Amino acid sequence: MAVTGEVKETTQAGIYGNPKARKILEYLLEFPQIVLTATVLPTDEIKYDQVEKILGDGSTDHVALLDDMAAANALLSQIADKAPACPNCGSKQISTRYLCPQCGSYDINRTYLFEHLKCGKVGNETSFRKGDQIICPKCQAVLHDFGVEYRAIGVWYECNKCEYSFNNPNHSHFCRPKRHEFSTDRVALIPIHQYQLNRNAIDTIRREILVSSEAIAYLENLGLSLKAPQTLAGKSGESHTFDIVLTLPKKGWRSEEKTVAIDVIVNGYAVEMDVFKKFIAKARDVRDLKSAEAYLVVASGVPEDAKTMLNDSKTPFFQALSIREAMQALQKGSILKEHIA
Protein backbone atom coordinates (compact mmCIF):
# COMPACT_ATOMS: atom_id res chain seq x y z
CA MET A 1 0.00 0.00 0.00
CA ALA A 2 1.30 3.42 -0.92
CA VAL A 3 2.14 5.73 1.94
CA THR A 4 0.97 9.27 1.32
CA GLY A 5 1.43 10.78 4.75
CA GLU A 6 -2.15 12.03 4.70
CA VAL A 7 -5.43 10.38 5.62
CA LYS A 8 -7.57 10.11 2.50
CA GLU A 9 -10.43 12.58 2.50
CA THR A 10 -12.94 10.04 1.23
CA THR A 11 -12.59 7.76 4.26
CA GLN A 12 -11.25 10.09 6.95
CA ALA A 13 -14.71 11.08 8.15
CA GLY A 14 -15.78 7.50 8.71
CA ILE A 15 -12.65 6.82 10.73
CA TYR A 16 -12.84 9.69 13.19
CA GLY A 17 -16.58 9.17 13.47
CA ASN A 18 -16.05 5.58 14.61
CA PRO A 19 -15.32 5.26 18.34
CA LYS A 20 -13.64 1.87 17.87
CA ALA A 21 -11.27 3.28 15.26
CA ARG A 22 -10.48 6.24 17.49
CA LYS A 23 -9.69 3.93 20.42
CA ILE A 24 -7.37 1.80 18.29
CA LEU A 25 -5.54 4.87 16.98
CA GLU A 26 -5.17 6.34 20.46
CA TYR A 27 -3.53 3.10 21.59
CA LEU A 28 -1.24 2.87 18.57
CA LEU A 29 -0.14 6.46 18.96
CA GLU A 30 1.03 5.51 22.45
CA PHE A 31 2.63 2.24 21.24
CA PRO A 32 3.52 2.86 17.57
CA GLN A 33 5.75 -0.23 17.35
CA ILE A 34 2.78 -2.59 17.82
CA VAL A 35 1.87 -4.82 14.85
CA LEU A 36 -1.72 -6.11 14.85
CA THR A 37 -1.47 -9.78 13.85
CA ALA A 38 -4.20 -12.27 13.02
CA THR A 39 -5.25 -15.73 14.14
CA VAL A 40 -7.58 -17.95 12.12
CA LEU A 41 -10.10 -19.52 14.50
CA PRO A 42 -11.74 -22.97 14.10
CA THR A 43 -14.94 -21.01 13.34
CA ASP A 44 -13.13 -19.56 10.28
CA GLU A 45 -13.15 -16.07 11.82
CA ILE A 46 -9.97 -14.04 11.50
CA LYS A 47 -9.27 -12.72 14.96
CA TYR A 48 -6.97 -9.90 16.06
CA ASP A 49 -6.22 -10.53 19.73
CA GLN A 50 -4.55 -7.14 20.28
CA VAL A 51 -7.55 -5.29 18.86
CA GLU A 52 -9.90 -7.30 21.07
CA LYS A 53 -7.84 -6.29 24.12
CA ILE A 54 -7.68 -2.63 23.03
CA LEU A 55 -11.45 -2.38 22.58
CA GLY A 56 -12.37 -4.62 25.49
CA ASP A 57 -15.96 -4.99 24.31
CA GLY A 58 -16.01 -8.70 23.54
CA SER A 59 -16.19 -8.20 19.79
CA THR A 60 -13.97 -10.37 17.57
CA ASP A 61 -14.70 -9.47 13.93
CA HIS A 62 -12.49 -6.48 13.23
CA VAL A 63 -11.34 -7.17 9.67
CA ALA A 64 -13.68 -4.67 7.99
CA LEU A 65 -12.77 -1.93 10.48
CA LEU A 66 -9.03 -2.48 10.06
CA ASP A 67 -9.42 -2.52 6.27
CA ASP A 68 -11.26 0.81 6.43
CA MET A 69 -8.51 2.28 8.59
CA ALA A 70 -5.92 1.03 6.12
CA ALA A 71 -7.91 2.46 3.19
CA ALA A 72 -7.74 5.81 5.00
CA ASN A 73 -3.95 5.40 5.34
CA ALA A 74 -4.28 5.65 9.11
CA LEU A 75 -2.91 2.09 9.21
CA LEU A 76 -0.54 0.26 6.91
CA SER A 77 -1.70 -3.15 5.73
CA GLN A 78 0.69 -5.95 4.81
CA ILE A 79 0.13 -9.54 3.68
CA ALA A 80 1.21 -11.73 6.57
CA ASP A 81 0.01 -15.05 5.17
CA LYS A 82 -2.21 -16.73 2.59
CA ALA A 83 -4.61 -19.21 4.15
CA PRO A 84 -5.71 -22.12 1.91
CA ALA A 85 -9.49 -22.38 1.80
CA CYS A 86 -12.17 -24.62 0.32
CA PRO A 87 -13.25 -23.37 -3.14
CA ASN A 88 -16.80 -24.60 -2.49
CA CYS A 89 -17.67 -23.17 0.93
CA GLY A 90 -14.71 -20.90 1.73
CA SER A 91 -13.80 -22.66 4.96
CA LYS A 92 -10.18 -22.34 6.00
CA GLN A 93 -10.42 -25.51 8.10
CA ILE A 94 -8.85 -27.88 5.59
CA SER A 95 -6.50 -30.84 5.73
CA THR A 96 -3.94 -31.96 3.19
CA ARG A 97 -4.22 -35.59 2.12
CA TYR A 98 -1.32 -37.65 0.75
CA LEU A 99 -2.55 -40.07 -1.92
CA CYS A 100 -1.28 -43.19 -3.64
CA PRO A 101 -0.48 -42.16 -7.24
CA GLN A 102 -1.75 -45.52 -8.53
CA CYS A 103 -5.14 -46.01 -6.84
CA GLY A 104 -5.74 -42.61 -5.18
CA SER A 105 -6.13 -44.05 -1.67
CA TYR A 106 -5.08 -41.94 1.31
CA ASP A 107 -4.44 -45.12 3.34
CA ILE A 108 -0.68 -45.03 2.90
CA ASN A 109 2.30 -45.48 5.23
CA ARG A 110 5.52 -43.54 5.19
CA THR A 111 8.79 -45.29 5.85
CA TYR A 112 12.48 -44.60 5.22
CA LEU A 113 14.93 -46.20 2.83
CA PHE A 114 17.91 -47.52 4.78
CA GLU A 115 21.34 -48.36 3.42
CA HIS A 116 23.74 -50.72 5.19
CA LEU A 117 27.03 -48.93 4.58
CA LYS A 118 29.19 -52.08 4.79
CA CYS A 119 27.39 -54.42 2.37
CA GLY A 120 25.48 -51.78 0.41
CA LYS A 121 22.00 -53.27 0.95
CA VAL A 122 19.20 -50.74 0.38
CA GLY A 123 15.67 -51.46 1.56
CA ASN A 124 12.75 -49.89 3.34
CA GLU A 125 12.67 -49.52 7.10
CA THR A 126 10.22 -52.42 7.46
CA SER A 127 12.66 -54.87 5.87
CA PHE A 128 15.46 -53.72 8.22
CA ARG A 129 13.46 -53.59 11.45
CA LYS A 130 13.07 -56.84 13.39
CA GLY A 131 11.31 -56.13 16.66
CA ASP A 132 13.44 -53.60 18.52
CA GLN A 133 16.53 -54.27 16.40
CA ILE A 134 17.80 -53.03 13.03
CA ILE A 135 19.13 -56.05 11.09
CA CYS A 136 20.44 -55.99 7.54
CA PRO A 137 18.16 -58.30 5.48
CA LYS A 138 21.12 -59.20 3.21
CA CYS A 139 24.01 -60.05 5.55
CA GLN A 140 22.00 -60.33 8.82
CA ALA A 141 24.35 -57.96 10.64
CA VAL A 142 22.79 -56.26 13.68
CA LEU A 143 23.17 -52.52 13.17
CA HIS A 144 23.51 -50.18 16.14
CA ASP A 145 24.98 -46.85 15.08
CA PHE A 146 22.81 -44.74 12.79
CA GLY A 147 25.02 -42.64 10.53
CA VAL A 148 27.99 -44.96 11.12
CA GLU A 149 26.77 -48.47 10.23
CA TYR A 150 23.64 -47.48 8.31
CA ARG A 151 21.90 -44.36 7.12
CA ALA A 152 18.54 -43.12 5.75
CA ILE A 153 18.82 -42.20 2.09
CA GLY A 154 15.22 -41.17 1.42
CA VAL A 155 11.54 -41.46 2.22
CA TRP A 156 9.41 -44.30 0.91
CA TYR A 157 5.63 -44.71 0.85
CA GLU A 158 3.55 -47.86 0.68
CA CYS A 159 -0.15 -48.08 -0.14
CA ASN A 160 -2.15 -50.36 2.15
CA LYS A 161 -4.89 -50.71 -0.43
CA CYS A 162 -3.03 -51.69 -3.62
CA GLU A 163 0.43 -52.35 -2.07
CA TYR A 164 2.08 -49.97 -4.52
CA SER A 165 5.41 -48.47 -3.36
CA PHE A 166 6.47 -44.94 -4.34
CA ASN A 167 8.58 -42.01 -3.21
CA ASN A 168 6.32 -39.07 -4.20
CA PRO A 169 2.64 -39.15 -3.19
CA ASN A 170 -0.08 -37.12 -4.87
CA HIS A 171 -1.89 -34.45 -2.85
CA SER A 172 -5.46 -33.33 -2.32
CA HIS A 173 -7.27 -31.15 0.20
CA PHE A 174 -10.18 -32.04 2.45
CA CYS A 175 -12.62 -29.51 3.91
CA ARG A 176 -13.36 -30.68 7.43
CA PRO A 177 -16.63 -28.76 8.09
CA LYS A 178 -18.39 -29.69 4.80
CA ARG A 179 -16.27 -32.70 3.76
CA HIS A 180 -15.50 -31.27 0.33
CA GLU A 181 -12.47 -32.80 -1.38
CA PHE A 182 -10.56 -30.84 -3.99
CA SER A 183 -7.21 -30.81 -5.74
CA THR A 184 -4.38 -28.38 -5.13
CA ASP A 185 -5.05 -26.52 -8.37
CA ARG A 186 -8.55 -25.59 -7.11
CA VAL A 187 -7.64 -24.39 -3.63
CA ALA A 188 -8.58 -20.80 -2.75
CA LEU A 189 -5.89 -18.64 -1.16
CA ILE A 190 -7.27 -16.12 1.34
CA PRO A 191 -4.96 -13.21 2.24
CA ILE A 192 -4.35 -12.64 5.95
CA HIS A 193 -3.22 -9.11 6.75
CA GLN A 194 -1.35 -7.52 9.57
CA TYR A 195 -1.63 -3.83 10.39
CA GLN A 196 0.42 -1.13 12.03
CA LEU A 197 0.24 2.60 12.51
CA ASN A 198 1.15 4.66 9.44
CA ARG A 199 3.89 6.79 10.96
CA ASN A 200 3.85 9.12 7.97
CA ALA A 201 0.26 10.03 8.84
CA ILE A 202 0.71 10.61 12.58
CA ASP A 203 0.36 14.40 12.33
CA THR A 204 -2.81 14.04 10.28
CA ILE A 205 -4.23 11.47 12.68
CA ARG A 206 -3.59 13.70 15.68
CA ARG A 207 -4.93 16.79 13.94
CA GLU A 208 -7.94 15.51 12.02
CA ILE A 209 -9.03 12.37 13.83
CA LEU A 210 -8.16 12.50 17.51
CA VAL A 211 -8.95 16.18 17.94
CA SER A 212 -12.45 15.55 16.62
CA SER A 213 -12.50 12.48 18.85
CA GLU A 214 -11.85 14.66 21.90
CA ALA A 215 -14.68 17.01 20.94
CA ILE A 216 -17.02 14.07 20.34
CA ALA A 217 -16.10 12.47 23.67
CA TYR A 218 -16.71 15.77 25.47
CA LEU A 219 -20.28 16.01 24.13
CA GLU A 220 -20.98 12.33 24.73
CA ASN A 221 -19.91 12.74 28.35
CA LEU A 222 -22.56 15.45 28.66
CA GLY A 223 -25.14 12.84 27.75
CA LEU A 224 -25.76 14.15 24.25
CA SER A 225 -26.28 11.81 21.30
CA LEU A 226 -24.63 12.86 18.08
CA LYS A 227 -23.47 11.82 14.65
CA ALA A 228 -19.96 12.52 13.48
CA PRO A 229 -19.63 13.49 10.75
CA GLN A 230 -23.07 14.26 9.36
CA THR A 231 -24.53 15.98 6.32
CA LEU A 232 -27.34 18.54 6.66
CA ALA A 233 -29.44 20.15 3.97
CA GLY A 234 -29.55 23.94 4.20
CA LYS A 235 -32.48 26.18 3.35
CA SER A 236 -31.06 26.51 -0.16
CA GLY A 237 -31.36 22.75 -0.61
CA GLU A 238 -27.58 22.35 -0.78
CA SER A 239 -26.04 19.66 1.45
CA HIS A 240 -23.31 20.57 3.94
CA THR A 241 -21.09 18.22 5.94
CA PHE A 242 -20.20 19.10 9.54
CA ASP A 243 -17.75 17.38 11.88
CA ILE A 244 -20.45 16.88 14.55
CA VAL A 245 -24.23 17.16 14.42
CA LEU A 246 -26.52 16.67 17.41
CA THR A 247 -30.23 17.10 18.00
CA LEU A 248 -31.42 18.83 21.17
CA PRO A 249 -34.83 17.82 22.52
CA LYS A 250 -37.75 20.22 22.98
CA LYS A 251 -37.69 22.57 25.97
CA GLY A 252 -41.35 22.96 26.79
CA TRP A 253 -44.43 22.05 24.79
CA ARG A 254 -44.28 25.13 22.55
CA SER A 255 -40.64 24.69 21.60
CA GLU A 256 -39.16 22.50 18.88
CA GLU A 257 -36.15 20.27 18.47
CA LYS A 258 -32.92 22.07 17.66
CA THR A 259 -30.21 20.78 15.38
CA VAL A 260 -26.70 21.85 16.32
CA ALA A 261 -23.91 21.60 13.73
CA ILE A 262 -20.28 21.96 14.81
CA ASP A 263 -17.01 22.15 12.93
CA VAL A 264 -13.68 21.70 14.74
CA ILE A 265 -10.40 23.35 13.72
CA VAL A 266 -7.14 22.59 15.49
CA ASN A 267 -5.08 25.64 14.63
CA GLY A 268 -6.77 28.48 12.84
CA TYR A 269 -3.45 30.16 12.09
CA ALA A 270 -2.53 27.23 9.84
CA VAL A 271 -5.85 27.25 7.98
CA GLU A 272 -6.57 29.05 4.74
CA MET A 273 -9.10 31.89 4.87
CA ASP A 274 -11.28 29.92 2.47
CA VAL A 275 -11.97 27.46 5.29
CA PHE A 276 -13.54 30.23 7.38
CA LYS A 277 -15.43 31.60 4.37
CA LYS A 278 -16.87 28.18 3.55
CA PHE A 279 -17.94 27.64 7.16
CA ILE A 280 -19.65 31.01 7.27
CA ALA A 281 -21.55 30.20 4.07
CA LYS A 282 -22.77 26.78 5.18
CA ALA A 283 -23.52 27.96 8.72
CA ARG A 284 -25.70 30.75 7.33
CA ASP A 285 -27.54 28.33 5.02
CA VAL A 286 -28.23 25.95 7.94
CA ARG A 287 -29.21 28.72 10.39
CA ASP A 288 -31.75 30.03 7.88
CA LEU A 289 -33.80 26.91 8.71
CA LYS A 290 -34.57 28.54 12.12
CA SER A 291 -34.46 25.12 13.82
CA ALA A 292 -30.69 24.79 13.48
CA GLU A 293 -27.58 26.41 14.89
CA ALA A 294 -24.01 26.17 13.63
CA TYR A 295 -20.87 26.79 15.68
CA LEU A 296 -17.17 26.81 14.94
CA VAL A 297 -14.81 25.46 17.62
CA VAL A 298 -11.14 26.40 17.31
CA ALA A 299 -8.24 25.16 19.42
CA SER A 300 -5.32 27.62 19.31
CA GLY A 301 -5.49 30.86 17.39
CA VAL A 302 -7.80 32.50 14.86
CA PRO A 303 -6.31 35.16 12.55
CA GLU A 304 -7.62 38.68 13.16
CA ASP A 305 -9.08 39.02 9.66
CA ALA A 306 -10.91 35.69 10.17
CA LYS A 307 -12.26 36.95 13.51
CA THR A 308 -13.50 40.09 11.84
CA MET A 309 -15.16 38.10 9.09
CA LEU A 310 -16.83 35.74 11.59
CA ASN A 311 -18.06 38.59 13.77
CA ASP A 312 -19.34 40.67 10.84
CA SER A 313 -21.34 37.69 9.57
CA LYS A 314 -22.62 36.98 13.10
CA THR A 315 -21.21 33.46 12.92
CA PRO A 316 -20.61 32.20 16.49
CA PHE A 317 -17.21 30.69 17.19
CA PHE A 318 -15.46 29.51 20.33
CA GLN A 319 -11.70 29.70 20.65
CA ALA A 320 -9.32 28.44 23.34
CA LEU A 321 -5.85 26.98 23.69
CA SER A 322 -7.13 23.40 23.76
CA ILE A 323 -10.08 21.48 22.40
CA ARG A 324 -11.41 20.82 25.88
CA GLU A 325 -11.31 24.51 26.80
CA ALA A 326 -12.95 25.45 23.51
CA MET A 327 -15.70 22.87 24.10
CA GLN A 328 -16.24 24.24 27.59
CA ALA A 329 -16.67 27.68 26.06
CA LEU A 330 -19.17 26.23 23.57
CA GLN A 331 -21.12 24.59 26.38
CA LYS A 332 -21.37 27.85 28.33
CA GLY A 333 -21.89 30.25 25.44
CA SER A 334 -24.23 28.42 23.08
CA ILE A 335 -27.71 26.95 23.04
CA LEU A 336 -26.23 23.86 24.70
CA LYS A 337 -26.33 25.55 28.11
CA GLU A 338 -30.15 25.47 28.02
CA HIS A 339 -30.16 21.68 27.61
CA ILE A 340 -27.39 20.61 29.97
CA ALA A 341 -27.89 20.55 33.70
Per-residue pLDDT of 184-210, as tens digits, reads: 899 999 999 999 999 988 877 776 666
Q: What is the pLDDT of residue 309?
A: 95
The residue range of the domain holding 107 is 101-168
- Of 48, 50, 54, 6, the closest CA to residue 26 belongs to 54
Q: pLDDT of 241-265, one tens digit each? A: 888 899 888 776 656 788 999 998 8
Alpha-carbon span 214 to 108, nearest angstrom: 64
**Residue 33, amino acid:** Q
Residues 232 and 331 in one domain: yes
Alpha-carbon span 143 to 155, nearest angstrom: 19
207 occurs within a structural domain: no
53 occurs within a structural domain: yes
- Proportion of the chain above pLDDT 70, given as a percent: 92
Q: pLDDT of 282-298, one tens digit each? A: 999 999 888 889 999 99
- Does the pLDDT of residue 5 top 50, yes or no? no
**Residue 312, amino acid:** D
Residues 196 and 236 in one domain: no
Q: What's the number of domains the chain is made of?
A: 3
Q: What is the pLDDT of residue 16?
A: 63
Residues 130 and 239 in one domain: no
Alpha-carbon span 144 to 133, nearest angstrom: 8
259 occurs within a structural domain: yes
